[in-house]
Amino acid sequence: MYFATLDRTFKRRMGDVLAFFDRLYGSNSPTEAINGRLETLRGIALGFRNLDNCITRSLLHTGGFRQTILNHL
C-alpha cells in the first residue's frame, strides 16, 4: 500500500524531481525559507478578527512599512 502511494506520487511529480537534477547544486532552501516566514506570519495573525489589522501586523513584522517610516523622519 505504501509503495503504491509512493509510486503514484513520483509519477505525478516526475517533472519536479527531474528538474532538481537539471540544476547544478539545486536546493529548495529558498522555498523553505519563504515557507518559514509565512508560517511565522500565520502564527502572528492568529487572534486577529479584522483583516486590515492582520495585514498591518504582518507588514510591521516583515518591514513592509520601513520605507514609509523613513519618509516621515
Q: Residue 49 carries which DSSP code?
A: -
pTM, rounded to two decimals = 0.41
Nearest to 54 by CA among 40, 41, 69: 41
Query: Would you state the pLDDT for residue 1?
Result: 64
Number of domains in the chain: 1
Domain, as residue range, for 35: 2-72
| Residue that the C-alpha cell 523553505 belongs to | 32
What's the rounded Cα separation, in Å, for the pair 36 and 41? 9
On average, the pLDDT of the chain sits at: 77
Chain segment 29-55, per-residue pLDDT in tens? 777 888 888 888 778 777 778 888 877
Burial class, 41, CB count within 10 angstroms (exposed 0-12 / middle 13-18 / buried 19+): middle
